[in-house]
Amino acid sequence: MTKAEIAHHSANAHQTISRILDGQKTIINRTSESILRVTFEDRTKPEGKTNATGTIRRVQALAAIGYPLEEQAKLAGIHPDKPRHALKQKYIRAETAQAIADVFTRLQMTPNPLPSRAATRARIVAQTNGWLPPLAWDEDLIDDPQHHGYAKDIAA
C-alpha cells in the first residue's frame, strides 16, 4: 500500500504519513488509531462496492427462516439472481447491499408464513449449509467479518 493510499484511507495528510515512515518518534493517539484502522481491503475495494459479508449473512439468515433467494430478490426489488450472486462475492454493489439490508430489517423477526416447497427447500439448504438465522446476528456486528454470530442453539 502506498503512502498516498494510507493517507487517503486514514484521513491523514500525506506529509504526516511520510514523517511517521521516516522515523518520527511520537504520534498523536487519534492519528495512530486512524492509521491502524486501514486494512488491505481498503486498497482493493472497487469503487461503488461494499464488502459482501453482511449481505451474505442476511441472505443466508432469511433463507434459514424460509425465504427463498428468489423471493428475497423480489421483495428487495432487485434482479432474481442478485442474492445468489452475492453469496459468491467478496464485494457487491452498495445499492444491492442496501436493498437486501432493508428486506432483512423488515423480515428478520418473521419466519416465512407461506407454506411452500420453495420455503421448505430454503430452510433445508440453510440448515444443510449451517447458515445462521437472523437472531444469531447482532445487528451492529452482522457486517463485521471478524464476528461469527452466536450459537445456533441460542439463536434458534
Q: Give yes or no for residue 148 having a pLDDT over 70.
A: yes
The burial of 82, by beta-carbon neighbours within 10 Å (0-12 exposed, 13-18 middle, 19 or more buried), is given as: buried
Looking at residue 44, its pLDDT comes to 57
3-class DSSP assignment, residue 75: helix
Answer yes or no: are the C-beta atoms of 63 and 18 closer than 8 Å: no
| Cα gap 110→113, rounded to integer Å | 8
Looking at residue 156, its pLDDT comes to 45
Task: Read off the pTM.
Answer: 0.69
Q: Which of 10, 121, 143, 147 is nearest to 63 (CA)?
A: 121
| Cα gap 91→154, rounded to integer Å | 30
Percent with pLDDT over 70 in the chain: 91
| H/E stretch holding 94 | helix 94-107
Q: Give yes or no for residue 14 having a pLDDT over 90.
A: no
Burial 23-60 (b: 16+ CB within 10 A, else e): eeeeeeeebeebbeebeeeeeeeeeebbbbbbbbbbbb
Show contacts of 143-151: CB within 8 Å, 24+ apart: 143/51, 143/53, 143/54, 144/53, 144/54, 145/51, 145/53, 149/57
More confident residue, 139 or 122: 122
Average pLDDT over residues 97-106: 96
